[in-house]
A and B are shown apart, each in its own frame.
Chain A
Amino acid sequence: MVYKAKAAHLGSSLSMCEILAALYGEKKQKDDRIFISKGHAAASVYATLALTGHIPMNMLDTYFQNGSYLQGHISHHLPGIPLSTGSLGHALPVAIGSALANPEHRHYVILSDGELNEGSNWEALLFAPKHTANLTVIIDYNKIQSLGTIQEVLDLEPLDDKFQAFGWKCLQVDGHNLEELTNALGGEAKVVIAHTIKGKGIADIENTLASHYKPPTEEQYAHSLS
């Protein structure tokens, strides 16, 4: 998809494939609400929507093309996407509102690590533990943001201490281990720090800043299929 579309954000998409699989997979209940704050990771979201029957598989060929609903950042005009995102720091407050209105339904929000720079997330993280018992936040902690590593740009560590200090239960898991993720997502409200690898699955682009921007080259594409 990304190779054909010559689109960006492949690395951000690949780092959260297992998170999406855990959320949209067999354990998903009909009324679960999933908010994806890192709307730039659209390619893996669209693939997930196709694999789960929300959109037809051949629609994926239209990603990033003129006239397609599959924009570069996810849109609520698609089934299975309650909130359009793309500007960071938006989905967690909205998910809190939805969780307050629907206390009987489980709510999940996927945040990127880079977007934890946004103040709106910390406003929401401060608010949620005392008001919502049905909200789980998953951090796709791939350690690379737009202009450098998390550590270089705006270090988040110690991250789990921050969430705990804000009143959250916090778990850390291997974000590419489906079983660990699935186990972590059940039960009470919490933050799940999913340690992931940017560009996971394509050796040539794994853990590279360039994977945030550049579509795979022909060589990388061929290599990834082999």
Chain B
Amino acid sequence: MRTAFLKKLFQLAEDNPNVWLLTADVGYSVLEPFAKQFPERFLNVGVAEANMTGIAAGLAMSGKHVYTYSIANFPTLRCLEQIRNDICYHNLDVTIVAVGAGLSYGQLGYSHHGLEDISALRGMPNLTILSPADPGEVAALLPKRGPTYLRLGKAGEPDLHNYPVIPGKGVKIRHGSRATIFATGSILQRALEIPDVTVISMPTLVPIDVATILQARQSPHIITLEEHGVGGLASIIAEVLAIHGYSGNFTPIYVRKPPTPLCGTQDYLRDHYDLTVREIKKALNSASSAKTTHVAAITPNTPASLPQ
């Protein structure tokens, strides 16, 4: 995804002389082509995210379209108030780019896990939140005008589908009868391992595609899957269902354990935090045994390590 983003950004900068890229001293061996080609529109501000975000606002105020770039929480939580006050309140053309969504940089530890970014940012005024699942989705979502948060994984993720991606819309990738799984980010891959379910990728989280969620109410069971803690995709979809009503089962699968002290790769930590195919199947099985009740039920996402 990182490679797809940088390729797209390069194209955008070639086409539009107002495109700027700011980094907080992150991007070794990947930002150099941009810096070399557009030196007057590239700034490494140093390890100073608050300053970077403020500078981006000042540039955007003058008609520039600015991308700020860093890892996971650094361009988001570290400078959250600059995002709120300077970018969002003033409704400026700044795209905040974080690489390392969720557990992408698993082995680097909790400081580098992006698990609270969506919940922290989704209440910001005017802010669009983009959370692509694969390189193809990244390229289709850009450029986006106005305050935007782009949540990227790392380099090397596979393309998961070839369906057209329309900004603001969910992408239906597979049709099945047992349930509808909404997934955001590269963990979509795990949803695609489940047979006979509808799978919808949600590359745009804010504003949310209400119509697609309402359509999914025809399913007996709605499951959400994301590499994020409380307040992300599960909450967004639950809000829509609560407002509009839904009589089926709802199973949110997200990171709900406390931060682990253990080192691990992205896949290892996805398993640790129960973001697993096994967990989805368990939810499907428990829902089908209770399907005659016709009562909305929140299926608990029980940690796999506990005795059943």
Interchain CB contact under 8 A, A94 and B55: yes
- Is B60 in contact with chain A by the CB < 8 A criterion? yes
The reply to whether B59 and A127 form a contact with Cβ atoms under 8 Å apart is no
Residues of chain B with a CB closer than 8 A to A53's CB: none
Within 8 A of B (CB), among A91-136: 91-102, 119-120, 123-124, 126-127, 131
Indicate if the CB atoms of A126 and B57 lie closer than 8 Å: no
* Shortest beta-carbon distance from A85 to chain B in Å: 8
Q: Tell me if B86 and A96 are in contact (CB < 8 A).
A: no
Complex formed: what's the CA distance from A130 to B254 in Å? 45
B62 near A120 with CB under 8 A, answer no
Please give me the residue from chain A that is nearest to B64 by CB atom.
A101
Contact of A100 among B50, B52, B55 (CB under 8 A): B55
B187 at the interface (CB under 8 A from A): no
Interface check B63, CB cutoff 8 A: yes
CA distance A90 to B59 in the complex (A): 14
Tell me the minimal C-beta distance from B146 to chain A in angstroms. Answer: 16
The interface residues of chain B lying within 8 Å CB-to-CB of A101 are 58-59, 61-64
Q: Which residues of A contact B86 (CB under 8 A)?
A: 83, 90, 93-94
Does A82 count as interface, using CB distance less than 8 angstroms?
yes
Q: Which of B43, B46, B51, B61 contacts A98 (CB 8 A)?
A: B61
Does B89 belong to the interface (CB within 8 Å)?
A: yes
The complex places the Cα of A106 from the Cα of B81 at a distance, in Å, of: 27
Is B122 an interface residue when CB atoms closer than 8 A count as contact? no
User: Do residues B63 and A97 form an inter-chain contact, with CB atoms below 8 A?
Assistant: no
Chain B positions 57 through 96: 1 when the CB is less than 8 Å from some CB of chain A, otherwise 0: 1111111101000000000000001100110011000000
Whether the pair A84, B54 counts as a contact (CB closer than 8 A) is no
Q: Nearest residue in A to B62 (C-beta to C-beta)?
A: A101
Is the CB–CB distance between B89 and A96 below 8 Å?
no
Interface size for B (C-beta < 8 A) is 26
At the interface, yes or no: B205 with Cβ under 8 Å from chain A? no
Q: Residues of A within 8 Å of B, CB-based: how many?
A: 28
Contact of A82 with B53 at beta-carbon distance under 8 Å, contacts A87-B81, A87-B85, A126-B46 already known: no
**Residues from chain A with Cβ under 8 Å of B64 in the complex:** 101
Q: Are B90 and A97 in contact (CB under 8 A)?
A: no
Complex CA gap A21/B48 in Å reads 33
For the complex, is A215 an interface residue (Cβ under 8 Å from B)? no
CB pair A84 B90 closer than 8 Å: yes
A80 within 8 A of B: no
**B48, B60, B81 — which one has the most chain A CB atoms within 10 A of its CB?**
B48
**Shortest Cβ distance from A215 into chain B, in angstroms?**
26
| Contact present for A93 and B62 (CB under 8 Å) | no
* Nearest B-chain residue to A101, judged by Cβ: B62
Say yes or no: B54 contacts A102, CB within 8 Å: no
Chain B residues closer than 8 Å to A175, beta-carbon distance: none
Residue of A at shortest CB range from B24? Answer: A123
Tell me, rounded to whole Å, the shortest Cβ–Cβ distance linking A217 to chain B: 34
Contacts of A84 in B (CB 8 A): 85, 89-90
Q: What is the CA–CA distance of A11 and B305 in the complex, to the nearest angstrom?
A: 61
A45 CA / B89 CA spacing, docked (Å): 20
B59–A92 touching, CB < 8 Å:
no
21 contacts between A and B (CB under 8 A): A82-B61, A83-B90, A87-B81, A90-B85, A93-B51, A93-B52, A93-B53, A93-B55, A93-B82, A94-B86, A97-B57, A97-B58, A97-B60, A101-B58, A101-B62, A101-B64, A120-B82, A123-B46, A123-B50, A123-B51, A124-B51
